[in-house]
Amino acid sequence: MRSPRSLLGGLLAVLCLAGPISARAAEEHIPLPNEHWSFESALGGFDLASAQRGFQVYSQVCANCHSMKFLHYRDLSGIGLNAEQIKAVAATFTVPLGLNDEGQPVEGPALPSSRFRSPFPNDKAATAANNGALPPDLSLIVNAREGGPNYVFGVLTGYGNPPAGVAVAEGTYYNRVFPGHQIKMPQPLQDGTVTYTDGTPNTLNQQARDVVTFLYWAANPEMVERKAMGVKAVLFLVFMTGLTYVVKKKVWADAH
Amino acid sequence: MAGLHKSDFANPVINWIDTRLPVFTMMQKEYGVFPTPRNFNYFWNFGALAMVNLVIMIATGIFLAMNYQPNTELAFASVQHIMRDVNFGWLLRYVHQNGASMFFIVTYVHIARGLYYGSYKSPRELLWIFGVVILLLMMATAFMGYVLPWGQMSYWGATVITNLFSAFPWIGPKIVTLLWGGFSVDQPTLNRFFSLHYLLPFVLVAVIFLHIAALHITGSNNPLGIDVKTPQDTLPFHPYYTIKDSVGICVYLIVFAILVFFAPNYLGDPNNFIEANPLVTPADIVPEWYFLPFYAILRSVPDKLLGVCLMFGSILVLFVLPWLDTSPVRSARFRPIYRLFFPLLIISVVVLGMCGAHKPEGIWVTLSRLGTFYYFFHFLVLLPVLGKLEKPLPLPESISQAVLGGRGGGPLPSGAAAKPMEKA
Amino acid sequence: MADTHGAAVSGHGPGGEVTKRDMIKLVATAGAAIGVGALAWPFIDSMNPSADVLALSSVETDLKPIAEGSGITVVWQGKPIFVRNRTPAEIKEAQAVQLSQLIDRTDGLDKQRVKAGHEQWIVLIGICTHLGCVPLGNKPSDPRGEYGGWFCPCHGSQYDTSGRVRHGPAPLNLPVPPYAFTSDTKIKIG
């Protein structure tokens, strides 16, 4: 019959429908760095050591201005910390702990169940303290930008002197990747900003890679479980497709 | 009419129920022995796929609603709660999110199949009209569902789309205020969209029931577009088409699974990972991909009211399609000229989709105007005229003759087709 | 669907013996059943407590403001927890009760229900074991029932100062939540 051709036609239709999306991605004009990330391949996971270093970079540098309000310290089990380590890490941060019996807000060392400490009490305070620019929450930042990890990596490593003839406004900094090239965030990372305990060289690139790995995990904490389940689901479905196809052939043998 | 049904089922429990309410007899009649043209190709799977998709959407939606908060302060965070803390919440959400895209892929193929093989023609006009109602309901449901996560695209999509109604003179702004329940998209809007997003799928179920009821009165169309004449032209739905649909469902689930597990945000927009901010509009506002062709039609003309009318018109024209197409022949297979124009319709819709994804400047304006022109030309001019001018190819005498041609056009050996179930 | 029909076409050989086609159909049906079953679990499990609920922290309570003879209610895991400061007379009475007098004898002795050295403090999950109402009795002015503890307004169950049910319909004693004294005047529940 003409079944194979029909199937091909269906597939083609799907591809055509997907066309517009790839066309949209092609609109990006600023070339992004093209780093290799283990988590971007179909079955790839996270480099946990890198993600842990990234958490250190976030805590020591980014967290001074950027919140991550959708994360809890308990979530750090996802980058390989055990319960004791999480308790110890959480206890180093002071967070609001609700109201005491007199109705007054109290602060204290964070528990594993606490949310990540936010540097500012609210967005207005954050905006006022940062030269009128709100430092975006980083919980989902990798998913929230066209280009994802390469974009965030590009911004972190994209600082430099403006090319001749490009004026940079007061209170902003030149950045190759940031849209408009003028960013209000001063260069956050340089060679040696953070000292790693595991002896990894703390170059700018290494720190940026680590923090991007951490941020990618933070935005997609379910990724490893998702891909593992996906492999099983697809294998099962391929098996079922074969099986039903054989049954179909046998049932239809009568009809031809 | 009153009186017990005489049931033929051997199982005493089934027989007891069936005697009092003949649902099993009905299932047997409509899905068991239901005579179905024997020559379906795999494009006839897509109705069943859409059914499966709807069930998946309703199931995941109900469980998502158990954890979702329709409140502007909490909505975005409650989605993150689902994604991070609820057991398998990420799975339910990604299935629901990508399920919307899968639903439109499947439905668009289903519609294209109907267009190519003339499934909208007499006597299936009402069946087709129910289908267009289903499409409209799906679009409304998808649009309101996209608002619920309360990201930047949710918010600005809702603002732009509801503002379309403001194009109508005098009454327009009043309609918009009514839709919003205020003077901008805000808490009342989100709350009512949630309510309606939960309701409409069940309305959809009801209309789909009518769609299928009408189908089972007229019987299915088929790739040849000719009527069923003898029992030899048909096969019982079960097991022939239950198993063929099962193959299709498996393939469809593979595509679905790859999307959900390996590229869950491929069809999404990064801006929707940013919480809604009524004071900042994202640089590029684009609707979800399945609305892009209509969005391009909207923007193809500089006049606001005309654009809105064209956009709504592009779907409303489908309602009268059965009467626009004047050709007596259903299947494009026997319409040599229509067959050449049909790909142009598909291309124009795809091009419109690409235009919708780009800023309306330069070449994209020209292309979207060409696409819009062809879309309406096809339905309003080409189909009425072509029916009169085109000389169709000779139609086969019957389905069985065309399919089983090798065995000759005459009556088949008894048992070969009329009672295939008795063959080993 | 329509199994009667399915059986007719399932390809039994002329003699009715099971053919290869039956086998493969069986496998396909079983596969589909497994698939649907596996699909059901995520839906069901999504209704179980989520990670944030499971991680809910413990509650610290300061005992200093609780006057002798009265109690307070604190919330732990969404449940009311009674913390009561018992008078010496109440303690004596509670300790004197014999197991034979009780409806529910597990953990029936007062010393099983308090922390050694802190006998004046009784900490209970304040949910009636009958049908889940919250009994009265924390304030001295509340009805406390015949046994001086708590009285459930829904169906009249009565508990003594150790939280043991003394008068039905409630079948069980009020449970003691996990807690510990972090100092003489502070407890941590959970």
Mutate to test the interface with B, among A140, A146, A217, A234 (most CBs of B within 10 A): A140
Task: Give the percent of chain A with pLDDT over 70.
Answer: 88
What confidence score (pLDDT) does residue C17 get? 55
More confident call, A212 vs C67:
A212
B23 touching C (Cβ < 8 Å): no
Nearest CB neighbour to B250, from listed A221, A241, A254: A241
Q: What fold characterizes domain A25-71+116-221? A: Cytochrome Bc1 Complex; Chain D, domain 2 (1.10.760)
Residue-wise pLDDT tens digits, C58-85: 777 888 888 888 888 888 888 899 999 8
Query: Could you give phi then psi for residue A237, rounded to 5 degrees?
Result: -70, -35
- Residue B315: name the closest of B72, B148, B128 by CA: B128
Query: Which pLDDT value is given to residue C57?
Result: 64
Give the H or E element holding residue B392: none
State the average pLDDT over residues A166-181: 90
pLDDT in single tens digits along all 424 residues of chain B: 578 888 889 999 999 999 999 999 999 999 899 999 999 999 999 999 999 999 999 999 999 999 999 999 999 999 999 999 999 999 999 999 999 999 999 999 999 999 999 999 999 999 999 999 999 999 999 999 999 999 999 999 999 999 989 989 899 999 999 999 999 999 999 999 999 999 999 999 999 999 999 999 999 999 999 999 999 999 999 999 999 999 999 999 999 999 999 999 999 999 999 999 999 999 888 899 999 999 999 999 989 899 999 999 999 999 999 999 999 999 999 999 999 999 999 999 999 999 999 988 889 999 999 999 999 999 999 999 999 999 999 999 999 888 877 554 444 444 334 333 333 3
Query: B339 and B332 in contact (C-beta within 8 Å)?
Result: yes
Burial readout A43-56 (b: 16 or more C-beta within 10 A, e: otherwise)? eeebbeebbbbbbb
Is the pLDDT confidence value at A99 over 90?
A: no
Residue ranges per structural domain of chain A: 25-71+116-221, 223-256
Q: Which residues of C touch B92 (CB under 8 A)?
A: 42-43, 46
pLDDT at A9: 45
- Sort out which chain A residues have CB atoms less than 8 A from C9's CB and list them: 251, 254
pLDDT bracket for residue C139 (50, 70, 90): confident
Angle (deg, nearest 10), helices B363-377 and B304-319: 40
Q: List chain C residues with CB under 8 Å of B91.
A: 42
Radius of gyration of chain B (CA): 24
pLDDT at A189 over 50: yes
Query: For residues B173 and A213, what is the distance between their CA atoms, to the nearest angstrom?
Result: 48
CA-based nearest distance B55→chain C, Å = 13
The answer to whether B85 contacts chain C (CB < 8 Å) is yes
Fold of C54-189: Rieske Iron-sulfur Protein (2.102.10)
Q: Do B260 and A42 touch (CB under 8 A)?
A: no
Report d(CA A249, CA A151) in Å as an integer: 50
pLDDT at residue A12, as a whole number: 45
Give whole-number Cα distances, C148 to A49, B343, C94, C160, in Å.
60, 87, 10, 6
B90 touches chain A (CB under 8 A): yes
Contact residues, chain B, for A247 at CB < 8 Å: 243, 246
How far is the alpha carbon of B355 from chain A, nearest alpha carbon, in Å? 8
With a CB cutoff of 8 Å and minimum separation 6, the contacts of B259 are B98, B101, B102, B266, B267
Shortest CB distance from A240 goes to which of C9, C35, C57? C35
Q: Is the pLDDT of residue A16 over 80?
A: no
Which tops the pLDDT comparison, C162 or C6?
C162
As a whole number of angstroms, the distance between CA A130 and CA A133 comes to: 6
Q: Is C149 helix (H, G, I), strand (E, B) or coil?
A: strand
Of the partner residues A114, A240, A251, the one whose CB lies closest to the CB of residue C31: A240
Whether residue A229 lies within 8 A of chain C, CB to CB, comes out as no
In this prediction, residue C113 has a pLDDT band, given cuts at 50, 70 and 90, of confident
Is pTM, for the whole model, over 0.95?
A: no
- Residues of chain C positioned with their CB less than 8 A from the CB of A246: 24
Residue C23 confidence (pLDDT): 84
Alpha helices in chain C (DSSP H): 3-9, 20-45, 51-54, 88-96
pLDDT, average across residues C143-155: 88
Catalytic residues of C, which ones? 155
CB-based contact C50 B89, cutoff 8 Å? yes
The residues of B assigned a catalytic role are 216, 220, 244-245, 288
Strand, coil or helix: A175: strand
Give the model's pLDDT for residue B57: 97
Per-residue pLDDT at C108: 80
Domain coordinates in residue numbering, chain C: 1-48, 54-189
Q: Are the CB atoms for A151 and A177 separated by under 8 Å? A: yes
Name the strand (E) or helix (H) holding B77.
helix B75-84
What is the rounded CA–CA span in Å between residue B243 and residue B221?
19
B284 contacts chain C (CB < 8 A): no
Task: Give the one of B31, B81, B246 whose C-beta lies nearest to C52's C-beta.
Answer: B81
CB contact (8 A) between residue B246 and residue A14: no
Do A112 and A74 meet the contact criterion of CB atoms below 8 Å apart? yes
Q: Could you read off the pLDDT of C20-38 as tens digits, one per residue? A: 667 888 888 999 999 999 9
